[in-house]
């Protein structure tokens, strides 16, 4: 039997009458089979959810930070108890290889829940500025709109700091990979979070997402997704004068400086680009290499390509699953075809790939001889497609790294961290990995330019959900002294 999920509103599972109760199907991209149905929510479900979040706000925002931290820890424990089930679900609805679904898609959000709990517990939400007592207070009802590529992580990166700050939330998860969100609702109910603190409405972006972004009862929109979606919610937010945090796309570069160890930089760069079938907003989809190392790099990629044969993502040995949908597959194929038609070449694997017979699989593709003005060099493909491009000197490398409309992430490789960091400071990008430095879930994550302007995770991510209230006191007031700790 295929599961059919309802909305989660005010602590209850609710079927509202939007679109006469119509459903949307959720597909397994490795098999193209339908694995679940969700409700096609609209303005009615959104209105109920926002009303529930508004009702819950006054009590929840007045709780002690330690209470909210305890709920976050309980939620982490509950998700961890069901970790294998979350990983299997995300493997089935996104097509992420199961090993990565366990290590990244599931373990990371559990870690973020725990880190946020500690942070909320340890943060001092009040300070003195002159004769004022300045309190950091929750911004209000948060609309969280999330994509499908790291679905649980992107939900937790909003939900944990929002409820930790004392906000209440209406979540509209991606209609492409919504099951993990509804499993999270079960965990929310199981740990006894008060009704209305977390509400989940399913549906499309054009219907449920747009209705949520435009609802006058919300105080903030935190959106992760495409540039066009981010621009649409920004317009809606502007109408209601609502704060936004936008986490959008990327076209990040891995810059291999002349002094770098080529072998490691190329191997890690390829793995980074192909992670989750290239469906990672921060993926290093352009590899910039010194001109005199260009052909050596292409040769070493040819030898490495065999590791990324597309395969059934539920297999423990799989490194590359399908892309998420038929729409995404057509988009990726279009970018590759367009690049080849414009004169690009692809690195041929030593043995041709054999694609699984069903599912939205595409060959991992490494392109070279690409012009920097070509779409595949400038635009986000969101598939396993890497462009290798030569540069003349480090100024040229910095210019190429910065020449797209995005500025989300990147990597720099050099003989010393000092040299790599000095170069990294020339890049207009929100995060940058120095010689393969690992992801840090406490460091702010977000972008420049069309990659958006929000910051998620850690103390800076928590601050997104806070605003201030200043109380001016008489000079010498005992309240000033009382808080001077």
Binding site for ligand NAD (CB under 6 A): 145-149, 154, 172, 174-175, 204-206, 209-210, 213, 224-226, 229, 232-233, 247-250, 281, 380, 382, 408, 447, 451-452
- Ramachandran bin of 265, using left for φ above 0, alpha for ψ from -120 to 50, beta for the remaining angles: alpha
| 355, 401 contact by CB (below 8 A) | no
| 435, 254 contact by CB (below 8 A) | no
Whichever of 48 and 215 has its CB closer to ligand NAD, that residue is 215
Catalytic one among 167, 281, 419, 456?
281
Whichever of 51 and 174 has its CB closer to ligand NAD, that residue is 174
Compute and round to an integer the Cα radius of gyration of the chain.
23
CB of 86 to ligand NAD, least distance (A): 18
CB of 401 to ligand NAD, least distance (A): 17
Distance CA 277, CA 386 (A): 11
Whichever of 145 and 187 has its CB closer to ligand NAD, that residue is 145
| 16, 49 contact by CB (below 8 A) | no
- The β-bridge relationship of strands 126-129 and 132-138 is antiparallel
CB of 456 to ligand NAD, least distance (A): 7
CB of 17 to ligand NAD, least distance (A): 21
Distance CA 183, CA 472 (A): 46
| Cα of 218 vs its chain's centroid, Å | 22
Told to judge if 91 belongs to the known catalytic residues of this protein, a careful annotator would answer no
DSSP character for 52?
Answer: H
CB of 204 to ligand NAD, least distance (A): 6
| Cα of 174 vs its chain's centroid, Å | 11
116 Cβ neighbours under 8 A, 6+ residues apart? 72, 160, 161, 164, 462
Token pair recorded at residue 401 = 């790294």
Whichever of 213 and 397 has its CB closer to ligand NAD, that residue is 213
Token pair recorded at residue 49 = 């959810």
Whichever of 24 and 266 has its CB closer to ligand NAD, that residue is 24
Token pair recorded at residue 122 = 């340890």
Whichever of 282 and 318 has its CB closer to ligand NAD, that residue is 282
| 322, 29 contact by CB (below 8 A) | yes
SS3 392: coil
Catalytic one among 247, 363, 456, 464?
247
Query: H or E segment at 284?
Result: strand 284-290
Told to judge if 478 belongs to the known catalytic residues of this protein, a careful annotator would answer no
DSSP assignment of 287-341? EEEEGGGHHHHHHHHHHHGGGG-B--TTSTT-SB---S-HHHHHHHHHHHHHHHH
Whichever of 205 and 390 has its CB closer to ligand NAD, that residue is 205
CB of 363 to ligand NAD, least distance (A): 21
Distance CA 254, CA 437 (A): 13
CB of 157 to ligand NAD, least distance (A): 8
CA atoms within 13 A on the CB side of 10: 13
446 Cβ neighbours under 8 A, 6+ residues apart? 245, 247, 408, 430, 452, 453, 454, 455, 456
SS3 201: coil
* Residues β-bridged to residue 284: 252
Whichever of 147 and 384 has its CB closer to ligand NAD, that residue is 147
Give buried/exposed letters for 245-259 (b at 16+ CB in 10 A, else e).
bbbbbbbbbbbbbbe
CB of 479 to ligand NAD, least distance (A): 40
CB of 165 to ligand NAD, least distance (A): 19
Whichever of 175 and 374 has its CB closer to ligand NAD, that residue is 175
End-to-end CA distance of the chain: 59
CB of 278 to ligand NAD, least distance (A): 11
- The β-bridge relationship of strands 433-434 and 345-346 is unpaired
Whichever of 200 and 233 has its CB closer to ligand NAD, that residue is 233
Query: Could you list the active site residues?
Result: 247, 281
């Amino acid at each position: 039997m295929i599961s059919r999920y309802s909305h989660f509103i005010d602590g209850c599972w609710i079927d509202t009458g939007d679109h006469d109760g119509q459903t949307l199907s959720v597909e397994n991209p490795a098999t193209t089979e339908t694995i679940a149905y969700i409700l096609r929510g609209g303005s009615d479900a959104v209105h109920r959810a926002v009303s529930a979040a508004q009702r819950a706000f006054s009590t929840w925002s007045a709780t002690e930070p330690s209470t909210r931290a305890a709920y976050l820890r309980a939620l982490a424990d509950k998700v961890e108890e069901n970790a294998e089930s979350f990983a299997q679900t995300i493997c089935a609805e996104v097509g992420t290889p199961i090993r990565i679904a366990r290590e990244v898609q599931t373990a990371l959000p559990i870690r973020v829940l725990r880190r946020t709990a500690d942070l909320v517990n340890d943060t001092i939400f009040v300070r003195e500025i002159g004769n004022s007592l300045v309190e950091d207070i929750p911004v209000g009802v948060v609309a969280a709109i999330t994509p499908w590529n790291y679905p649980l992580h992107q939900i937790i990166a909003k939900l944990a700091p929002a409820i930790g700050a004392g906000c209440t939330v209406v979540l509209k998860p991606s209609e492409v990979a919504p099951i993990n969100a509804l499993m999270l609702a079960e965990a929310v109910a199981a740990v006894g979070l008060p009704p209305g603190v977390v509400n989940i409405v399913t549906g499309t972006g054009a219907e449920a997402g747009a209705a949520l972004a435009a609802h006058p009862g919300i105080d903030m929109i935190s959106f992760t997704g495409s540039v066009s979606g981010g621009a649409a919610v920004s317009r809606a937010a502007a109408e209601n004068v609502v704060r936004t945090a936008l986490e959008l796309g990327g076209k990040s570069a891995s810059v291999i400086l002349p002094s770098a160890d080529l072998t490691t930089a190329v191997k890690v760069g390829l793995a980074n680009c192909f992670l989750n079938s290239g469906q990672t907003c921060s993926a290093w989809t352009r590899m910039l290499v010194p001109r005199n190392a260009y052909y050596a790099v292409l040769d070493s990629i040819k030898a490495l390509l065999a590791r990324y044969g597309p395969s059934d993502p539920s297999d423990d040995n799989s490194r590359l699953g399908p892309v998420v949908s038929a729409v995404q597959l057509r988009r990726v194929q279009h970018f590759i075809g367009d690049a080849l038609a414009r004169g690009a070449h692809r690195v041929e694997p030593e043995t041709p790939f054999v694609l699984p017979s069903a599912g939205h699989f595409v060959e991992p593709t490494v392109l070279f001889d690409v012009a920097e003005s070509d779409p595949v060099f400038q635009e986000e493909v969101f598939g396993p497609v890497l462009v290798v491009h030569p540069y003349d000197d480090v100024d040229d490398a910095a210019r190429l790294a910065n020449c797209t409309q995005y500025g989300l992430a990147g990597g720099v490789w050099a003989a010393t961290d000092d040299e790599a960091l000095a170069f990294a400071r020339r890049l207009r990008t929100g995060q940058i990995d120095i010689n393969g430095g690992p992801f840090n879930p406490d460091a702010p994550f977000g972008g420049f330019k069309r990659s958006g302007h929000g910051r998620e995770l850690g103390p800076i991510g928590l601050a997104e959900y806070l605003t201030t209230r200043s109380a001016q006191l008489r000079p010498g007031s005992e309240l000033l002294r009382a808080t001077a700790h």
